[in-house]
Structure 1
C-alpha cells in the first residue's frame, strides 16, 4: 500500500474517531486534540499497519493508548504527595515498625495456590497473559478464538479476586 493510499484511507476514517474521542475526553477541544494526535501517530507509524487488517480498530487503539498515556502524564504531574506530616514519625521509636518477608511469603503462597486451583482452561490463558503474551498470541497458540481467550482470562481474574478477597485493601 502506497503512502498516498494509506493517507486517503486514514482521512476517510478520521471522522469516525471524533465521537469516541469526545467520549474519552468529555471536552470538545481535548477531543479535537486527541484525534489530531492520533492521526499524526498513525501517519508517522504507517509502516506498522498491516494491510488487510481493520484500520478503524488500529486507529481506535492508537487513540485509546494516546489518551491513557496523556492521562497518566497529567496524573503524575498533579499528584504531589506531601510527606512532611509523616516526618515526625521518622526518628520515634514508639512508632517504629519492621516488616519481614514472612507476610509476603504467605501472600504469594496463597496466590500460587489460588492460581493452581483454577480450572486448566482458565489457568493456561491467564498465566500466558500474565507472563506477557498478547490476547492474539494466546489465541493462536491455544488455537481458540480471541473472544474465548478474553473470556477465560476474565473468569480467571474474577475467581482469583473472589478467592483472594481477604487481601483487599478496602475490606
Structure 2
C-alpha cells in the first residue's frame, strides 16, 4: 500500500508545479488547467511505464510538455473561425467527381482496341514515342498514330469536344475559385 500512497503523494505534490508550468506555456489559466488534467490522466493511464526511484514530478512534466507540443502542432494547422464566416466562404470541389471520371475513363479504355490502349497508356505514363515503339515492337509513326486514334476514340466515348470539357464543368469552375 505504501507504493500507491507514494505515487498518490508524488502526483498531489506535483500538481501546483505542473499548473504553474502549464500557465507559463499556454498563457491561459483555463487551457493550462486542461493541459494539467490531460497530463495527469495520461500519467495515471501509463503509470506502469513510470520508473520507480525516479522523479514523479519530472515524469509528469515530460508528459505535460509533450502534450502541450502535440496540441500546439494541431492548433497551428487549425484556423480561428468563431463566427463561421471563413468556413462559409470555403468552396471545395467534390471528390467523388474525380472517382467517377476515373471509372468512366477506365471503362472507355476497355472499349478501344488493345494496341491503341497500350500506346496511349505508355504515352500517358511518361514513356516517349521512341521507347513506346521499342516496347511494342513497331515503328515510331505507328505508335504516334495509335496514340492519336486512342485519344480521339476516348474523347468521343467520354463526350469531350475540346479541352474545356476536361476537368470541372463551368458551374463548378464558377463556384470554386482556382487556387
TM-score if structure 2 supplies the norm length?
A: 0.41
Query: Larger C-alpha radius of gyration, 1 or 2?
Result: 2
TM-score if structure 1 supplies the norm length?
A: 0.43
